[in-house]
Structure 1
Amino acid sequence: MPRSKRRTVADMGPDDDDRHCSKRLRNTTSSRRFSNKTEDTSSFSQKRCLAWFREYTSPDDPDMLGPEGMEKFCEDIGVEPENVVMLVLAWKMSARQMGFFTQQEWLKGLVDLQCDTISKLQSKLDYLRSLLNDQVTFKSIYRYAYDFARDKDQRSMDIETAKAMLQLLLGKHWVLFGQFNNFLEHSKYKVINKDQWCNILEFSRTILSDLSNYDVDGAWPVMLDEFVEWLKVSKVGDTLRS
C-alpha cells in the first residue's frame, strides 16, 4: 500500500489552519491544567497519601506496611528506625505493633499531620520531637510505648526490650538511668510489667539523684525498692574503695 502524502502547513486551507490552531490551543490548555494539578502539592490529598503508603507495601498485602517497607520509609525520610521520633510518629498513628503500620493507622496519623509527601513529613519531624518536651504528652507516649513494644503474646515486656525502650525515652533525661540500667543487668528480672513500667517514669521524675526524698514506706514497686538498696550498697562500696 502506497504511503499517504503527508500534508504540510502550506497545503492547509484557512479552515484547516483554524482547526489546527484550535486543537493546539486545547492541547496546550489541557496540558497546562494537568501540569498545574500534578505540581500543586501544597494542599493535603488523602489519595496522594494513600499512594505514598502503597510504595512501601507488597501486592500480597497492600494494606500493611511491614519491616522491609518500614526500613525503606525510614530511609526516605532520613530517620533511623531506632530514633525516638519514629516512636512519636507511631503514637500519632496509634500503631499497634512495632515495625508495622496498617493503612488505617497510616491515614490516621498523616491526615492529622497533613502529610502526603516525604518532604512534608520531614518538615514535621522537629514538631514531633518537640512533643516530648511536654510532660503530659511525654507521659502518654511513654505509656503507649509499653504496649507498642511488648510481644503481643506476652502480658509483660521482656527485659532486653524494656532496657532498649527506657534508653530511648529516659536515657538522656534521667540522671540515674545508667545506674538503673546496670541494676537491671545484674538483677533477677526477666520481664517488666506495666505497673513497674509506669512507676519507673514517676520515680525518675520525683526522686532526687541523692535519694534524699525517697520514702522507704512509699507505695513503690518492689523492683524500685530493690534498686534503691542496690544503689546505696554500690555507693558505700565506691566510698570504701576510694
Structure 2
Amino acid sequence: MPRCSKRTRGAATGDVGVPGATAIDAQQHKRSRNTSSRRHSKAEDSSFSAKKCLAWFKEYTTVSEPDILGPEGMEKFCEDIGVDPENVVMLVIAYKMGAKQMGYFTQEEWLKGLTELQCDSVHKLQMKLDYLKSLLNDPYVFKAVYRYSYDFARDKEQRSLDTATARALLGVLLPRWALRPALGEFLQREGAARRYRVVNRDQWCNILEFSRTVDNQLLHYDADGAWPVMLDEFVEWLRAERAERAGGS
C-alpha cells in the first residue's frame, strides 16, 4: 500500500497541510524544553541552600569537633576561596559572621554570615569578594569593622589587645596610613614597650580617629585635645625624632 504524504495526512484530518510541519514542531518543542531546562538550572545555581552551605562547612571540620572550623580548616578555607589569611577581606567575612575568635568559625556563625551573603559554595563566595572589600569604602562600615576587630583579635583571657597583635592588625586595616610605621616603631621602643604592653579599647578607637584627622606633618594635632596619653607621647617622640634628623642633616 502506498505511503501517504504529510500533506495528504494533514488534509485528511483537517489540519493545514504544511510540508515538514511535524518535524518543525518537534524541533521547536525540543528547543523550548532545552531553554526551560537551562533556566531551571540557572535558578537552582542562584538559589541559596542552607543544607548545601552546612555540607560545605563540614568540609573544614573534624570528627572530634564537627561544629567548629579551626585553624587547619581555616587555612584550607582560605586556599579554596583564593584569599590570603591576612587579607582584610577575611576580616570582613568574619565581621559578617559575627565570629568571636580569630582562627575559628562556629557552625552558627558560618550559617549566619553566609545566609546573609546567600553563599553556599566556594564559587559564590568568590563572586562576592570584591563586594565585601568595597564595603570598607563606607567610613561607617569601616569604623564598625575596625572596632569589631579589637574583640575578634584579642586573647579572650585578656581584657585588652596585646601590642604586637595591635600593630599587625593596623597593618591589615590601615596599610596606607602614613604614620602607621612610625607608631609601630614608637610602640616597640624600650620605654614605650614597657608602658604599653597592651592597647586598651579607648586607645584602639582613638588611633582610627587620629589617622583620619591628623596629617603626616602633625599640623592638625591639637595638644589640648582629648587624645589618650599614648598618642600624646607618640607625637612628642615623633617630633623630637624629626627635629634630630633635620639637625643632623
Query: 1:225 aligns to what?
Result: 232
Counterpart for residue 211 of structure 1: 218
Task: After TM superposition, list the pairs within 5 Å mapping 1:81-160 onto structure 2.
Answer: 81-160=85-164
Match of 2:33 in 1: none
Q: Which residue of 2 aligns with 1:192?
A: 199
1:176 aligns with 2:179: yes
TM-score (normalised: structure 2): 0.80
- The aligned counterpart of 2:55 is 51
Question: Residues of 1 paired with 2:180 and 2:248: CA distance?
Answer: 23
Determine helix, strand or coil for the equivalent of 2:46: coil
Give 1:22-33 correspondences, 5 Å limit.
none
Instruction: Give the structure 1 partner of residue 209 of structure 2.
Output: 202
Give secondary structure in 1 for the equivalent of 2:103. Answer: coil
Report the count of equivalent residues.
207
Deviation at 1:178, TM superposition (A): 1.4
Per-residue deviation at 1:42? 2.1
Query: What secondary structure does 1:210 align onto?
Result: coil
In the aligned structure 1, how far is the partner of 2:86 from the partner of 2:228?
29
What's the counterpart of residue 69 of structure 2?
65
Gap regions ≥5 residues in structure 2: 1-36
Amino acid at match of 2:49: S
Shift in Å at residue 232 of structure 1?
A: 0.5
8 Å CA contact retained: 1:183, 1:227:
yes
Q: Does the residue aligned with 1:124 lie in a helix, a strand or coil?
A: helix
Which sections of structure 1, spanning at least 5 residues, go unmatched? Answer: 1-32
Q: Over the residues paired in the alignment, what is the CA RMSD in angstroms?
A: 1.6
Structure of larger gyration radius? 2
Q: Contact conserved, 1:171 with 1:178, CA < 8 A, in 2?
A: no
Measure, in 1, the Cα distance between the counterparts of 2:68 and 2:169. 24
Alpha-carbon deviations, 1:185-226, whole Å to 9, x = none?
Answer: 112321100000000000000112111121111110000000
Q: Which runs of 4+ in 1 moved over 6 A?
A: none
What residue identity is the alignment partner of 2:179? L
The Cα shift of 1:41 comes to: 2.5
Amino acid at match of 1:152: K
Q: Identity, % of aligned pairs? A: 64
Residues of 2 paired with 1:208 and 1:232: CA distance?
A: 13
CA–CA distance in structure 2, aligned partners of residues 74 and 212 of structure 1: 42
Per-residue CA deviation, residues 164-183 of structure 1 (Å, 9 max, x unaligned), is 001111122x1211111111
The one-letter code matched in structure 2 to 1:140 is: A
Cα distance between partner residues in 2 of 1:101 and 1:128: 18
